[in-house]
Amino acid sequence: MTADAAKATLTLPPFVNERIFPGVDDPTAREAFPRAIANVRAQLGKTYPLYINGQDVTTDSLMDSVNPADPDEVIGKICQAGKDEAEQALTAAQKALLTWRDVDPAERAQYLVKAAALVRDNLYEFAAWQVLEEGKQWAQAYNDVTEGIDFLEYYAREMIRLGTRRDLGSYSTESNFYFYQPKGVALVISPWNFPFAIGCGMCAAAIVTGNPVVFKPSSQSLVVGHHLVQIFREVGLPEGVFNYIPGPGSAIGDYMVDSPKVGVIAFTGSMEVGLRIIERAGKTGEDQPSVKKIVCEMGGKNGIILDEEFDEDAAVKDVLYSAFGYQGQKCSACSRLIVVDSVYDRFVPKLVEAAKQLKIGPAEDPQNYMGPVIDRNAQRTISEYINLAQLEGKILYRSETPDKGYYVPLTIAEGFTPDSRLAQEEVFGPVLSIMRAKDFDQALEWANSTRFALTGAIFSKNEEHLETAVQQFRVGNLYLNRASVGALVKVQPFGGFKMSGVGTKAGGPDYLLHFMDPRSVTKAP
């Protein structure tokens, strides 16, 4: 890349969020999505190789990725890495670090800007792959891709801001300045529920800060994960800076986490896996050059509080979307609805009646509000929680489901207290547990009664209660009088604490700092 091209990124216009999905009635969307889905279907069944040091690498071990709405439909066959391939990728990234870390930050940022433009030009097709591989509705898939674009554009600008040496002033006759360097090889482990956005965001953050990446996507989203190979190869990212290593966690997960070649680990997924990574990464061997940094976002048991006075029609719509959007498979999804006693008997029946109107079926049909869950294991686990809901509480509504595919019923149940398992354990599916609190104070106490602290919401017209919630509803992302899902890059940085994560905020002004070490230089005359 020329010096002029790198310099041009310094004059990027201010960041603006990509437009979210315009709606299923939008003429462009109604024409573009079916065409993109048909185009994707024409490409199904291909074999996808690993990507190491700028080269495709095939293996004899293959995994089928299937459509959760129709498991007989194979989306693609993905080569699986073993320890040998994992070591090759780590070695390639370690070698690339020697040059990539010293590339001008503006030049690194330019790769992200080019990548964002490429994704933007192919937005509907990238979204269509998610409709089929992940069972995401049109809006959910589209917005996942636009969030990935936002991460690329925002982190490019953030690196330009942070990549400029900061003058710290003088002391006596000495001058001082401050700058950042990358931590080292980044291992990025991404989830399937936001298969493009989260993987893209974590990889982009590592790459733009100078850390070559070894990328291990979830086994349920391997074809979408491979999109990053296509994107970073097309924009000309140097060899070894980005490596794609799909493979079973049992075979290569611990191996890569334990590797002394890794300097930073970015993970989004379950609490159990996140805590395992934190524990293993904390063991520092004699051959490890630095303490590993963990950037970790885990799960949630998110609650929405309904106070004594609020907009009930808006609350019905937003609660349903928070609980059942993308089948409740968002870490930010509402799984606990905490309703104060005085409005309970009026509001809950209205919510249940609205839920009964929601259609369930394949995500490629925009008339279906809810689709399949991600795989057979999820189907089985969520079904067990639905049975538990019947034992611990009372089922108010359990929907019918299609016969074929990994579907579970949309389920609403009541009768839970903080002592209930359904009020404490993350379900990661379309199961809403309703809790009846005597007043606002108890509702707030119950909202804070889990190990998690990711998202929450409160619907209220009481300004004093809203301000109390700001101070005492202890979650990473709090929403007042709106749904508890749908955070946007920059304006709503996302991430929690307690057992929801280590306090990092993806898409926020300090996120890139977790991938770098600060350095201070003092110069005498």
Q: What is the four-CA torsion angle of 189, 190, 191, 192, rounded to 10 degrees? A: -120
Asked if residues 360 and 455 have their Cβ atoms less than 8 Å apart, the reply is no
- How far is the C-alpha of 2 from the C-alpha of 257, rounded, in Å? 36
- How far is the C-alpha of 363 from the C-alpha of 359, rounded, in Å? 11
Of 79, 200, 331, 334, which one is the catalytic site residue? 331
- How far is the C-alpha of 24 from the C-alpha of 32, rounded, in Å? 11
The 8-class DSSP code of residue 9 comes to G
Catalytic site residue 203?
no
Of 85, 134, 297, 426, which one is the catalytic site residue? 297
Tokens, residue 228: 């990053």
The pair phi, psi for residue 106, each rounded to 5°, is -65, -35
- How far is the C-alpha of 450 from the C-alpha of 427, rounded, in Å? 13
- How far is the C-alpha of 244 from the C-alpha of 226, rounded, in Å? 7
Asked if residues 492 and 271 have their Cβ atoms less than 8 Å apart, the reply is no
Q: What is the four-CA torsion angle of 491, 496, 501, 503, rounded to 10 degrees? A: 70
- How far is the C-alpha of 415 from the C-alpha of 375, rounded, in Å? 29
Residues whose CB is less than 8 angstroms from the CB of residue 349 and which lie 6 or more positions away in sequence, other chains included: none
Secondary structure string (H, E, C) spanning 398-438:
ECCCCCCCCCCCCEEEECCCCCCHHHCCCCCCCEEEEEEEC
Catalytic site residue 297?
yes
Residues facing residue 374 across a β-bridge:
none
Tokens, residue 416: 């839970």
The 8-class DSSP code of residue 19 comes to P
Return the active site residues: 297, 331
